[in-house]
Structure 1
């Protein structure tokens, strides 16, 4: 019987202050009903240690293979380009993505509808002091990123960002952004409507999504 190779990346990451490596496991099984997992982390080139909160998969360079961003809480993240042969290369240096930050979540998303994936990162704002605003990295289509969060209006400076979700809630053809914040009455959850011109407007209170977690 032929064995089917089923490539299913499984990421294991560390919550809180526990330092563990990010892991990728590729599954191989005779049938989908009986999966078996083989640890190929080292072979794939993702031996990564860090206090990792947010991971994002996306084909940021448009070559048909899923790449990986691994955020690191208060440390240096990693941007792994998929080489298409089962291995990855960290291409963070020279990508334009900042080396450090109080990162909690990340997502690849085409917020500007230009056909390539941009990267959004929620930041803890240094405990709500406003010193660590969220980051929106615009992809130039060549794998180079520029932080345009301030111009776009999605920094959410005081928000202690814990997670972000994207969806076209108003069916106007562009993606809007919900940010889950924590522990700050001064910076509740935020909901940013995409204006379609590269900018966003926070309408969280208007749509009854501006609660906060105490």
Structure 2
């Protein structure tokens, strides 16, 4: 925790140091995102084989207090055979909920004589609502995946994924899975902060939060633009932006199915 420029290790106090069983885990990739659409940031972590991926749901006000909801959310058991690395939260099907992607790749397979698999499927976990997930299916390719970067590469309003693999080609997964409407936001800062990293964006009047960032995943950087999936909503939208300096502005009405550049007023 940042205490006025001095940092304090608050992991145990916040509930993110160990999982619900009290076990410390490997910690490979990380996502910070509002996966349950309640207006605050949750934490999703990928881990080594036989350690389930972990979803820490933020329940704290005013300071974060997290609960390990991995089993309840459906992200635990299915991840046990995998070693997860790169990961991201994005609205794959444009229905308004953040889904999860995990790039998997073994480590033990590089040891001479090891019988462990040398490649694994990657996972797409679909959000069924209120932060519960089910596996859409394993990505058919088997690779030794590491990094995963997320962004709208073809500017069509859904998020594509680029995965970097050990001893193999990178893979580009173009997202054509969403039939819903969307709203794109490119936040611009001031005083040299072009992308306003750290700004928070809400879709008014809903609590769902998006954070302007390029960080997360594993050894990767992401598109800083924000995409809200709207499902069947077809009306112009309003958004509220909290800039890195703490000031706030509301913008709208904004036509849907396009990107809007927002700057401080």
What TM-score, normalized by structure 1, do the two folds share? 0.69
Q: Are 1:143 and 2:131 an aligned pair?
A: yes
CA distance in 1, matches of 2:36, 2:84: 23
Q: Which residue of 1 aligns with 2:101?
A: 120
SS in structure 2 opposite 1:72? coil
4+ aligned runs moved over 6 Å, structure 1:
none
Tell me: CA distance 1:171–1:134, structure 2 relative to 1, closer, same or farther (3 Å). same
Q: Report deviation, 1:77.
A: 2.5
Q: Report deviation, 1:191.
A: 0.5
Q: Are 1:169 and 2:153 an aligned pair?
A: yes
Q: Report deviation, 1:84.
A: 2.5
Report if aligned partners of 2:54, 2:76 keep a CA contact under 8 Å in 1: no
SS in structure 1 opposite 2:129? coil
Q: Report deviation, 1:133.
A: 0.6
1:179-205 deviation line (CA, Å, top 9, x unaligned)? 111123xxx21001112448xxxxxxx
CA distance in 2, matches of 1:130, 1:111: 28
Report if aligned partners of 2:94, 2:178 keep a CA contact under 8 Å in 1: no
Tell me: CA distance 1:149–1:120, structure 2 relative to 1, closer, same or farther (3 Å). same
Q: Report deviation, 1:106.
A: 1.4
Q: Are 1:44 and 2:22 an aligned pair?
A: no
CA distance in 1, matches of 2:8, 2:52: 28
SS in structure 2 opposite 1:122? strand
Q: Report deviation, 1:94.
A: 2.4
Match of 2:47 among 63, 72, 81: 72
CA distance in 2, matches of 1:156, 1:178: 15
SS in structure 2 opposite 1:194? coil
CA distance in 1, matches of 2:101, 2:156: 21
Q: Are 1:180 and 2:164 an aligned pair?
A: yes
Q: Which residue of 1 aligns with 2:120?
A: 132
Q: How does 1:1-214 map to 2 (within 5 A)?
A: 26-29=1-4, 35-48=5-18, 49-74=24-49, 75-85=51-61, 86-99=64-77, 100=80, 101-124=82-105, 127=109, 129=117, 132-150=120-138, 155-184=139-168, 188-197=169-178
SS in structure 1 opposite 2:143? coil
The alignment's C-alpha RMSD in Å is: 2.0
How many residue pairs were aligned?
Answer: 161
Report if aligned partners of 1:131, 1:157 keep a CA contact under 8 Å in 2: no
SS in structure 1 opposite 2:70? coil
CA distance in 2, matches of 1:179, 1:143: 25
Q: List alignment gaps of at least 5 residues for structure 2.
A: 19-23, 110-115, 180-265
